Amino acid sequence: MNEPPLLGVPPITQAHPGIDRLGARCRIDPSVSVLRYGSNRPALLLEDDVSLYAWCRLVLGNPGEDPRIGIRIGARTIVNVGCYLSGEGGLEIGPDVLIGPHVKLLSAGHQVDGGERRINRNAITRAPVRVGEGAWIAAGAIVLPGVTIGEGAVVAAGSVVRRDVPPETIAAGVPARLLRRRNAASPGLLRRLLQRLR
């Protein structure tokens, strides 16, 4: 008996332009684009069973400019449609992560003070972004340079994250604030956690 086709799911592929290493059974939509130039240093690595859905953009620039430049995506991670993943300052996504549609993970920006009046002439600023195993970053969230999202953490849809989100914690808002621990942690535990982060 023939199984019905998987509609809307990217095909399994053996290679994709700009990606240095693909694990087994990776699914990448043909519309996924990679921005890179200059050095051929291996800088874009996907482990087994990673899925990149339609119209995702992965940005490295020139991997030879800085040793931090790179994107590594862990096994079984799903990156939904229209996401922007910046590896210009380093981006590491753990296994079993869910990244919702139109999420932006930004590891680089532009110097705004002390340089040229024209921002596009100023130096690029870089700070790595890390997303821990089993985290969920919901639709439209933006994670700014230097942020770590802990294992099992949840970032609510539309949030702008400028500070670390501890493991097993839910963050939401603009700017994102820590709401609570997952699994109904006691209020005292959350209060102590918030005091440590201030």
What 3-state DSSP class applies to 30?
coil
**Does residue 110 have an active-site annotation?**
yes
Catalytic residue among 110, 177, 191, 192: 110
What 3-state DSSP class applies to 188?
helix
63 vs 96: CA distance, rounded Å: 26
Of the chain, the end-to-end C-alpha distance in Å amounts to 59
Assigned token pair, 3: 């199984």
Element (H, E) at 27: strand 27-28
Active site members: 110
